Amino acid sequence: MAAQPSLAYRVKQRSRAQALGDVGNRLLPYLYLAPALFFISLFVLWPVARAFYNSLYDGNLLFPYREYVGPERYVDLLTNARFHQILIQSGYYLLLMLAGAFVLPVLLAIVTLNVTQREVGIFQSVFFLPTVIAANIAVSVWVWFYNPTGGLFNTVMKAFGAEPVTWLRNKDTVIPAVALVAIWKQFGFHYLIALAGLKSVPNDLIQAAAVDGANNRTISRRIILPLFGPTALFLLVITLIQGLEFTFVPIEVLTRGGPAGASSNLIYSIYQEGFRTFRVGLASAQSVVLIVLFGGLAYVQYRMLERNVQYDR
Amino acid sequence: MRHPRYLPKFAALNLILALCFVLPLSIARAQDPVTIEYWNINTDTFGGPQVTALIASFEEANPNINVEPRSFSEYQVLQQTLETSIAGGNPPDVVQTGYPYLNYVGASLPYVPIRELVEKYGGEEFLAQFPQNILDIPVVNGEQIGMAYSLSVPVVYYNADLMREAGLDPDNPPQTIEEWREAGQIIKDTLGIHAIVWGYEQDNWTTQGFINSAGGNLLACVDGEVRAVFDSEEAIQGMQTWRGLIEAGYSLDASNEEARQALLAGQTVAWVHSIAARAGIQRDADFDLRATVYPQNGDHPVRVPGGGNFLAIYSQDSAKQEAAWKFVQHLQSPEGFTEWTMGTGYVPLLPGLTEDPAYLADFVAENPIQQVGMDMLDKAVTWVSFPGPNGLAAGLRLHEAAELILSGQQPADVALEDAAFEVNDLIAGEACAS
Amino acid sequence: MTASASERLASRVILLVALLVVVTPLVYLVGLSFKAPEGIFANPMAPFSWPLDLTNYRNVLAQMNVPKFFLNSLIYAGGVTLGQLLLAIPAAFAFSYYHFRFKNLLMSLVLISLIVPFVVTYVPNYLLLARWGLLNSLVGMIIPMLGISVGFGIFLLRQSFQTFPKEVFDAACIDGANSWQVLWRVLAPASLAPIVSVAIYVFIITWNRFIWPLLVGGGDPASYTMTVAVDIYYNNPESGSNWGNLMAASVVSTVPTMLMYIALRKQILRTFTEGAVKG
C-alpha cells in the first residue's frame, strides 16, 4: 500500500527490463506486439481512417465515392438541428447509463457487504444472469413487457387503476424505457467488478481502524474509497465508452430510433444512415464526430486511471 | 540452448495467420452444373417450406440447375447484404425485393432488366399471361426491373367472439371508418378495449393506405420532377382521421408487433394487416378469427398499397442468367402461385387461378379470409418508393411525421408540411418516370 | 465494517427488490416458452400456465438445426477467444516488461481501438471479407474480431503482468530461459487467473454477439450462429414473431452460456478483479 508512485517501482521495472533484455535485442518487443497490432490496424484503425476519407463523399455501400462533398459535410452536420437532437439524446443516455450501470452497481455492492457470504453468492449469480444471454434474445422479452395493451407493465398499471402508457411511443418515456433494458442487461457485470473491488479491501485494515475508534463514515472515506478508487474508475471508463453501445440492440429491437428519432443516439444514427438508408458519407462523418468526442473523453479518463492504478500499488 | 528460439516461433505464428487469409481463397470455385442463389425473406415459419418445395420441383424438372435458397429475417437485412455482396463482386441470382426498395434498386443496383432476359432467353408467352398492371408494378424510369411476385393487401382481421360480446353482429362487421367509430364507442363502453388497430412501420405501408384512402397522394410529378405532396389537404385529413380514432380510444398508436399482440391478447377487436400474414395469425388465434374489407373513409374510394416483393435478377454470366430466368418462371407458374398462396396468404398474380378447381378454387372456398384478400385486390395501388439515392432517407421522414402525429406530439398539418419540405430537399432533381 | 441489525435488514430488502427486477424478465422468458402457441398472450400476469406445453420446444428442435448452430457459435466464440489470447498475451508482455521507442504511442493506438464503436468498423470489414471471399464463413466471422476487442485483453493483462514478482524472472533468466519461454512457461501459468477471466469475458460477449454474425454469416444457414438463427427463424417482422417458438429457441440457445457460467461462477467471480483490475 505504498502511498507514492514510488521510485522503487520504476527502478524495479527498469532492472526487470534489463534482466529480460535478451542481450539487448531491440526488436523483441516489436515482435511480440506485431501480431496484435497488425490485427488492430487492419480491422480497427484502417476502418477509422476510411471513415475520415469516406465522410468527404456522398455515396452508398456499393459506390461510396459517387460525389465529392468535402469539408462542407461537417459544416452541414454540425449545424443540423436533427444532429443536435441526437447529440443531446446521446448525453441523456450516457447519464442514465452512468446512474444505472455505474452508480447503482456500486451502491448495491456496498449494500451487499452487509449480508452473509451465502446470500452474496446468490445475488452475484442472479445479477449476472442477464449478461450471459444474447442481447437480441434478452431484449425480445421486453418487447412484450412494454406492449401498450397486452403487456405486463400496462396490465399491472391497469390493475391499479392507472391509465396505460405507450412506453415506447412517447418521447418522454422512450429513452428511460430503452435505457432500463440496457442497464438490466449490463449492470450485473459491473456489480460483480464493484463487489470484487470492495472485497479486496483487507478486512483487518478496517477492523484495526474500528478498534482505533474510527466510525463507519471515516472508515468509508479514509480507507475503503481510496482503495476502491481504481476499480471505480475502471467501471466509469467502461460505462462511458461502451454505454451507448449497450443501448444499441435495445433500440434496434424496441424502437428503431422512434418515435421520430426520439430514442436514437449517435451510435444508432450511424447504423441507421449506413445500413438502413445507405448514406455512407453521412454515417462516416457522424462516426468521425463520435471518435473525436470519445477520444477526448477516453484520454482524460485514461490519464486518471493510470495515475490511480499506480497510486494503488 | 541460449540461442533465442522465439524467432522461428514468431515466424510460424505469422505464417499461420497469413494462411488464415490465403487458404479459404484457394478452396471453392468449381461447379459443373449451374448453381444459382435465391435470396428470400421466407423462414420455416413464414413461407420457408413453400420455398423448399418449389425449389425441389424446379430441380426435378431441371436436373442441371441447382438452387440454393438463402433466407433473411427482413427486407432491410437482405438489402444491405445484397448491396455489400454486389460490392464484393459476388451477387446472388434471384432476389426478393420489398417494394419500398423499388426505386432505390432501379437507381443504384446492377439488376438485369426483364427486357434483356426476354431478348436473350425468350419468355414472351410467360409474360403474356400477366395483366399489364401487374407487369408495370416493378417499372422504374420506363424499365421493368423485375417480376412482381408476392402481392399482399391489407384486410381487417377481427375477433368475432369479442364482437358478439360487445353486442355487435359479427356477421355484419363495420365497413367504413364511420361505422368503426360507432362500433368503437360501443366496444369501449362494454368491453373497455380498442376496436380497430393499425400497426405501422418504417416502410410507410399503413401510412400510405390512410393518405390514399382519403384521396391524397404521397408523390406527384411537378414540372418533370418528383415532388412530395403528402401535405395536401386530403392527406392531412387522412392522417387526422387515424389520429382521431386513437385519441378517442378506439384505436392505438402501435407497431405491427404491438398491434398483433393486442389482437391475440383480446385487447382489440380488430387488427388491420397484410393478407400475407394470414397463416400465422390463424395459427396463433384461439378465438373465432374472421376478416373483412378495409374501411372506407368518407366518400373516397379505398386505395391501399399492395405489399410484398418483386423478383430481380443480378446474375452476371449468361448460364446463370438463363437458369435464374427459368427459376422465376417456375415460381410464377400456376403451380408455383398455388403453393405460394396456400402457404402464406399472398395473392396469386395469374388471373383465374382462384376460380380454377385444379388450383386454388377449393382452397379459397374453404378459407373465407383469403377470399377477402382476393376481393381487396382491385383496391390495390403501387406501394410508393421514394426515388433517388436519398430515397430511403426520404421515406423515413414520412414515417417520422406519422409517429409525431399519431403520438399526439404534433398536429397533422405541421408534421406533414415539415416532412414534405425535408423530403423535397432530399429528392430534389429526381426526374419523373416516363 | 460492522452493520447493525436494521442496516442488515434494509440491505436485504434493497437487494431483494433488485433481484426481483432482474429475475422477472427471465421468468417470463422461460414461462412463455412453455405456453401453447394459441393464447400465449391471454394472461399477461401469469408467466406460467399449467400443464407445461412442450409444443414450442418440439417445433424449435424440429425446425432449427440446433446442434449445427450451437457448434457454429462454439467455433466462433472459441476461435475469437483463443485468437485474442494468442495476440493479447505477448502484446501485454511487451508492454509490461520492455522499454522501447514509441511504446506510449503504440499503447495509445491500442486504447484508441477500444473506443471505436462497432458501427464504424463493420462496413469496411465486411467489404474486406467480401473481397477475400470469406463471407458466410466462420473464418470470416472470426478474423476481424481478433482486432476489434483485443485491446481490452491487452489492457487488462498488462495491468496484471506488471505485478508479477521480478525475482521469479531473474531466476528463470539465470536458468537460461529466453523471454519467449519465460512468457509461456512462467508468466502465463502464473497469471492463469486473469487470463481465464479475460477468456471468459471474451467468450461470453462473442457468443452473445448478434449484428456482426448476422452481417457476415446471415446469408447461409451453414454459418448461422445461435443468436442469428433464433432471429432469422422466429423474429420475422413480415409474418409477426412466433413468440412461443422465439422464447423456446432463446432458452435453448442460452442454456450453454448459462451452464458455463454456473460451472465457472466461482472462478469468474474470484478472478475478475483480483487479477485483472486491481492489478
pLDDT for the residue numbered A158: 82
Residue B244: its pLDDT value, please? 97
CB C106 within 8 A of CB C141: no
The answer to whether C110 faces chain A, any CB pair under 8 Å, is yes
Would residue B314 count as lying in a domain?
A: yes
Question: What phi and psi values does residue B122 have, to the nearest 5 degrees?
Answer: 75, -175
Chain B residues with beta carbon closer than 8 angstroms to that of C124: none
Chain C, 2 to 21: residues with Cβ < 8 Å from chain A are 2-3, 7-8, 11-12, 14-15, 18-19, 21
E strand or H helix that includes residue B143: strand B143-144
What is residue A75's predicted lDDT score, i.e. its pLDDT?
Answer: 94
Asked if B77 lies within 8 A of C40 by C-beta distance, the reply is no
Element (H, E) at B39: strand B34-40
pLDDT in tens, B379-427: 988 889 898 888 899 999 999 999 999 999 999 999 999 999 999 999 9
Beta bridge partner(s), residue A36: none
- In chain B, what percentage of residues exceed pLDDT 90? 62
User: Is the model's pLDDT at A5 over the cut of 50?
Assistant: no
Nearest to B257 among C134, C231, C240 (CB): C240
Which distant-in-sequence residues (6+ apart) come within 8 Å of B422 by Cβ?
Answer: B394, B397
User: Would you say residue B11 lies in a domain?
Assistant: no
Domain count, chain B: 2
B245 belongs to a structural domain: yes
Cell digits of residue C90: 505477448
C151 residue type, one letter:
G
What local confidence, expressed as pLDDT, does residue C229 receive? Answer: 87
Highest mean predicted confidence (pLDDT) among A13-27, A33-47, A124-138, C127-141 = A33-47
The minimal CB distance from C137 to the residues B24, B46, B344 is found for B24
In Å, how far are A229, A239, B187, B284 from B162, measured between CA atoms? 61, 49, 9, 16
CB B264 within 8 A of CB C37: no
* Amino acid at residue number C62: A
Spatial separation of the C-alpha atoms in residues B235 and B204, rounded to whole Å: 13
* Confidence band, pLDDT 50/70/90 cuts, at residue C22: very high
DSSP string, A65-129: TSEE-TTHHHHHHHT-HHHHHHHHHHHHHHHHHHIIIIIHHHHHHHHHTTS-HHHHHHHHHHHHG
Asked if residue A263 has pLDDT above 70, the reply is yes
Chain A residues inside the 8 Å CB shell of B6: 28, 31
Q: Which of A34, A171, A276 sits opposite B76 (nearest CB)?
A: A276
* Partner chains of C (3+ C-beta pairs under 8 Å): A, B
pLDDT at A71 (0 to 100): 93
Nearest to A259 among B109, B257, B403 (CB): B403
Out of B13, B89, B286, closest to residue C38 by CB:
B286
The total of other beta-carbon atoms located within 10 Å of residue B283's CB is 13
The count of C-alpha atoms lying within 13 angstroms of the C-alpha of B73, restricted to the half-sphere facing its C-beta, is 23
- List b or e across B394-409, with b for residues whose CB sees 16 or more CB atoms inside 10 angstroms: bbbbbbbbbbbbbbeb
Tens-place pLDDT, residues B35-44:
999 999 887 6
Residue B87 near residue C130, CB atoms below 8 Å: yes
* Residues 6 or more apart whose Cβ sits within 8 Å of residue A65: A54, A57, A59
pLDDT of residue A196: 79
Residue bearing the bigger pLDDT, C134 or A25: C134
Please report the domains of chain C, with CATH numbers, ordered by start residue: 5-53 (no CATH), 65-277 (1.10.3720.10)
Q: How confident is the model at residue C86 (pLDDT cuts 50, 70, 90)?
A: very high
Shared-domain flag, residues B175 and B108: no
pLDDT of residue B395: 94
Return d(Cα B365, Cα C245) in angstroms, integer.
Answer: 30
Contacts B284 to C, Cβ<8 Å:
37-38, 40, 240, 242
Whether residues B297 and B312 fall in one domain: no
B247-281 pLDDT tens trace: 999 999 998 888 888 898 888 999 999 998 888 78
Identity of the highest mean pLDDT range in A8-17, A252-261, C187-196: A252-261
Does residue B267 sit in the same domain as residue B311? no
pLDDT at C237 (0 to 100): 60
Q: How many CB atoms lie within 10 A of CB A166?
A: 22
Residue B412 forms part of a structural domain? yes
Instruction: Specify the pLDDT at position B23.
Output: 40
Which of B210 and B100 is assigned the larger pLDDT? B210
**With contacts defined as CB-CB under 8 Å, which chain C residues touch B281?**
240
d(C-alpha B349, C-alpha B152), whole Å: 10
Inform me whether the pLDDT recorded for C214 exceeds 70: yes
Considering B47-51, B134-138, B334-338, the range whose residues carry the highest mean pLDDT is B334-338
Q: Is the peptide bond before A259 cis (omega within 30 degrees of 0)?
A: yes
- Rounded to whole angstroms, how far apart are CA atoms B207 and B11? 62
Residues in chain A within 8 Å Cβ distance of C29:
133, 137-138, 141
Q: How far is CA B59 from its chain centroid? A: 27
Mean pLDDT over C143-172 rounds to: 83
CB contact under 8 A, A169 and B406: yes
Instruction: Find residue B70's DSSP bridge partners.
Output: B39
Residues in chain B closer than 8 A to A25 (CB atoms)? 4
**Cβ contacts (< 8 Å) between C226 and chain A: which residues?**
134
Per-residue pLDDT tens digits for C27-53: 988 988 888 776 677 777 777 877 888
Residues of chain B numbered 274-333 and touching chain C (CB < 8 Å): 274, 276-277, 279-281, 283-286
- Over residues C140-160, mean pLDDT: 89
Q: Considering the domain boundaries, does residue B422 fall inside one?
A: yes
Domain check: are B268 and B404 in the same one?
yes
Q: How far is C180 from chain A (nearest CA, A)?
A: 9
Q: How far apart are CA A169 and CA A163, in angstroms?
A: 15
B150-186 pLDDT, tens digit each: 998 999 999 999 999 999 999 999 999 999 999 999 9
pLDDT value for B197: 96
Model pLDDT for residues B281-311, shown as the tens digit of each residue = 888 888 999 999 999 999 999 999 988 899 9
Interface list for C 25-44 with A (CB within 8 A): 25-26, 28-29, 32, 41, 44
Q: Are residues B51 and B175 in the same domain?
A: no
User: Rounded to 5 degrees, what are φ and ψ at A35?
Assistant: -60, -45
Top-confidence residue, C171 or C92 = C92
Reduce the DSSP state of residue B70 to 3 states and report it. strand
Kindly state whether C105 is in contact with chain A, defined as any CB-CB distance less than 8 angstroms: no
Q: Three-state secondary structure along chain C? A: CCCCHHHHHHHHHHHHHHHHHHHHHHHHHHHHHCCCCCCCCCCCCCCCCCCCCCHHHHHHHHHCCHHHHHHHHHHHHHHHHHHHHHHHHHHHHHHHHCCCCCHHHHHHHHHHHHHCCHHHHHHHHHHHHHHHCCCCCHHHHHHHHHHHCHHHHHHHHHHHHCCCCHHHHHHHHHCCCCHHHHHHHHHHHHCHHHHHHHHHHHHHHHHHCCHHHHHHHCCCHHHCCHHHHHHHHHCCCCCCCCHHHHHHHHHHHHHHHHHHHHHHHHHHHHHHHHHHHCC
Residue B13: band (very low, low, confident or very high) from pLDDT cuts 50, 70, 90: very low
Q: Smallest Cα–Cα separation from C225: which of C237, C238, C210?
A: C210
Confidence of residue C240 (pLDDT cuts 50, 70, 90): low
- Give pLDDT, residue B25: 40
CA-to-CA distance for C279 and C23, rounded, in angstroms?
33
Q: Which residues contact A311 (CB under 8 A, 6 or more apart)?
A: A3, A5, A229, A230
| Higher per-residue pLDDT: B18 or A185 | A185
**Is the per-residue pLDDT at A12 higher than 80?**
no
> Residue A20 pLDDT > 60, yes or no?
no
Residue B24 lies in a domain: no
By residue count, chain C amounts to: 279
Q: Residues B98, B130: one domain?
A: yes
Place of cell 485468437: C83
| Separation between Cα atoms, residue A215 and residue A217, nearest integer Å | 6
- Grid cell in block for residue A56: 468527404
Using CA atoms, how far apart are residues A31 and A27, in angstroms rounded to an integer? 6
User: How many helices, marked H, and strands, marked E, lie in chain A?
Assistant: 16, 2
Of the candidates C83, C72, C71, the residue with the CA atom closest to the CA atom of residue C199: C83
- For B368, counting Cβ atoms within 10 Å of its Cβ (0-12 exposed, 13-18 middle, 19+ buried), the class is exposed
Interchain proximity B390–A279, CB inside 8 Å? yes
The side-by-side arrangement of strands in the sheet containing B147-152 is B65-71, B34-40, B94-98, B307-313, B147-152
Which one of B376, B393, B418 terminates a domain?
A: B376
- Higher-confidence position of A104 and B75: A104
> Quick one: pLDDT at residue B305?
93
Summarize pLDDT for A52-96 with one digit per residue, the tens.
999 999 888 777 788 899 999 999 999 999 999 999 999 999 999
Asked whether residue B174 falls in the same domain as residue B295, the answer is: yes
Find where cell 390493475 sits.
Answer: A159
Domains of chain A, CATH where assigned: 55-312 (1.10.3720.10)
**Per-residue pLDDT, C83:** 96
- Residues of chain B in contact with residue A66, where contact means CB-CB under 8 angstroms, are 389
B13 in any annotated domain: no
CB within 8 A of B41, min separation 6: which ones? B71, B72, B73, B74, B75, B78, B96, B98, B309, C236, C238
Is residue B18 very low, low, confident or very high in pLDDT (cuts 50, 70, 90)?
Answer: very low
What integer pLDDT is reported at residue B21 of this predicted model?
42
Which chains form contacts with chain A, at 3 or more CB pairs under 8 Å? B, C
- Please check whether residues B353 and B396 belong to one and the same domain: no
Residue of A26, A33, A62, A69 to mutate, testing the B interface (most B Cβ within 10 Å of its Cβ): A62
CA dist., res. A313 & res. A3, Å (int): 8
Instruction: Say whether B71 and C221 touch across the interface (CB within 8 A).
Output: yes
A216 versus C58: the higher-pLDDT residue is C58
Q: What is the mean pLDDT of chain A?
A: 82
* Average predicted confidence (pLDDT) for chain B: 88
Restricting to A residues 10-49, those with a Cβ less than 8 Å away from any Cβ of B are: 22, 25, 28, 31, 34-35, 38
Verify whether the Cβ–Cβ distance A196 to C93 is below 8 Å.
no
Domain that holds residue B60: 34-152+307-376
Q: With bands split at pLDDT 50, 70 and 90, how would you rate the model's confidence at A311?
A: very low
- Are residues B182 and B255 located together in one domain of the fold? yes
Is some CB atom of chain A closer than 8 A to the CB atom of C152?
no
Buried b (16+ CB within 10 A) or exposed e, A49-64: ebbeebbbbbbbbbeb
- The pLDDT assigned to B15 comes to 43
* pLDDT bracket for residue B60 (50, 70, 90): very high
Give per-residue pLDDT as tens, A151-188: 788 888 888 888 888 889 889 999 999 999 999 998 88
Closest Cα to residue B135, out of B382, B307, B302?
Answer: B382
Which of C22, C29, C60, C197 to substitute to test the interface with A, most A CBs within 10 Å?
C22
Is A279 touching B (CB cutoff 8 A)? yes
What pLDDT score does A203 carry? 67
The chains in contact with chain B, meaning 3 or more Cβ pairs closer than 8 Å, are A, C
Nearest by CB to A32, from C1, C15, C94: name it.
Answer: C94
Domain boundary among B376, B391, B409: B376
CA distance A205 to A222: 11
The mean of the pLDDT values for chain C is 82
- CATH number of domain containing B417: 3.40.190.10
User: Is the model's pLDDT at B12 over the cut of 70?
Assistant: no
Q: Of chain C residues 215-274, which have a CB less than 8 A from chain A?
A: 226-227, 230-231, 235, 241, 243, 246-247, 250, 253-254, 257-258, 260-262, 265, 268-270, 272-274
Residues B282 and B390 in one domain: yes
Interface test with B, best of A31, A66, A278, A279 (most B CBs within 10 A): A278
C131 touching A (Cβ < 8 Å): no
- Residues B82, B190, single domain; the answer is no
The pLDDT value recorded for residue C247 is 87
Nearest to A148 among B83, B254, B393 (CB): B254
- B165 and B148 inside one domain: no
Residue B12 falls inside a structural domain: no
Span A189-211, mean pLDDT? 76
Whether ipTM > 0.90 holds is no
